[in-house]
Amino acid sequence: MKIICIGRNYADHAKEMNAPLPEAPVFFLKPDTALLPAGTPFYIPDFTNDLHYECELVVKIKKVGKNIPEKFAAEYYDQIGLGIDFTARDLQGKAKEKGLPWEIGKSFDNSAPLGGFLPKESLDLSNLTFTLKKNGAIVQVGHTGDMIFTIDRLISYVSRFITLKTGDLLFTGTPAGVGPVAIGDHLEGSIGEEKLLDLQIK
Ligand code: MG
């Protein structure tokens, strides 16, 4: 399986990163070794001094697809969950400055902790709110209505370039409010009232 991540899909986050709004979705990949299963603690790696959380809605792909038309994209996923796109902001910043790829700051082992998933049918995807708490205080609130590109549009776009396979994960971008984590922090993520992600930082 592979993990496809969308960058800059919320205008307020693009603004806080001083990045222009994209005309087409921006995506990058994380390898399968980036996956950190739900319930597993995250250990801050020694190569960064500025590790940031980015809480994102995660779409689980349920069948193989290539060149998927947007109007059929909903047939290709059945579960929506929450994950963290951990980012070594210092390493990403250096790569950006030089015009280099971001993988060094985005795609390292365990950089994609997952929470639980909910069946798509139980959710109104056009009106979904998700929140991230750090040590009990809300730090990020996302709403699907604020996405620049909808989930269906993202699936259609990415599948023009990369074949989607069963079990692949699509991280759909983070809203504003990203920030650093330190040893001892506790992250909790919810979709609506349903708590799906609980992560201890060690
Ligand atoms: Mg992200």
Which stretch of DSSP H or E encloses residue 96?
Answer: helix 89-97
User: What pLDDT sits at residue 148?
Assistant: 96
- Token readout for 89 is 């902001």
Rounded to the nearest whole angstrom, what is the distance from the C-alpha of residue 69 to the centroid of ligand 1?
A: 24
User: What pLDDT sits at residue 13?
Assistant: 86
Rounded to the nearest whole angstrom, what is the distance from the C-alpha of residue 7 to the centroid of ligand 1?
A: 5
Q: Residue 56 — left, alpha, or beta (φ > 0 → left; ψ -120 to 50 → alpha)?
A: beta
How many Cα neighbours within 13 Å face the side chain of 17?
26
CATH of the domain at 79: 3.90.850.10
- Token readout for 61 is 């792909």
Rounded to the nearest whole angstrom, what is the distance from the C-alpha of residue 180 to the centroid of ligand 1?
A: 14
Whole-model pTM over 0.75:
yes
Cα 199 from Cα 52, distance rounded (Å): 14
Q: What number of H helices and E strands is found in the chain? A: 4, 14
Overall residue count recorded for the chain in this entry: 202
Structural domain containing residue 136: 3-200
Rounded to the nearest whole angstrom, what is the distance from the C-alpha of residue 18 to the centroid of ligand 1?
A: 15
User: What pLDDT sits at residue 20?
Assistant: 86
pLDDT in tens, the chain (202 residues): 999 999 999 999 888 888 888 899 999 999 999 999 999 999 999 999 999 999 999 999 999 999 999 999 999 999 999 999 999 999 999 999 999 999 999 999 999 999 999 999 999 999 999 999 999 999 999 999 999 999 999 999 999 999 999 999 999 999 999 999 999 999 999 999 999 999 999 9
Cα 187 from Cα 167, distance rounded (Å): 25
pLDDT tens-digit map of 157-201: 999 999 999 999 999 999 999 999 999 999 999 999 999 999 999
pLDDT tens-digit map of 192-201: 999 999 999 9
Q: How many domains does the chain have?
A: 1
Q: How many CB atoms lie within 10 A of CB 186?
A: 13
User: What pLDDT sits at residue 14?
Assistant: 82
Please name the amino acid found at residue 92: Q
Rounded to the nearest whole angstrom, what is the distance from the C-alpha of residue 122 to the centroid of ligand 1?
A: 25
Rounded to the nearest whole angstrom, what is the distance from the C-alpha of residue 129 to the centroid of ligand 1?
A: 17
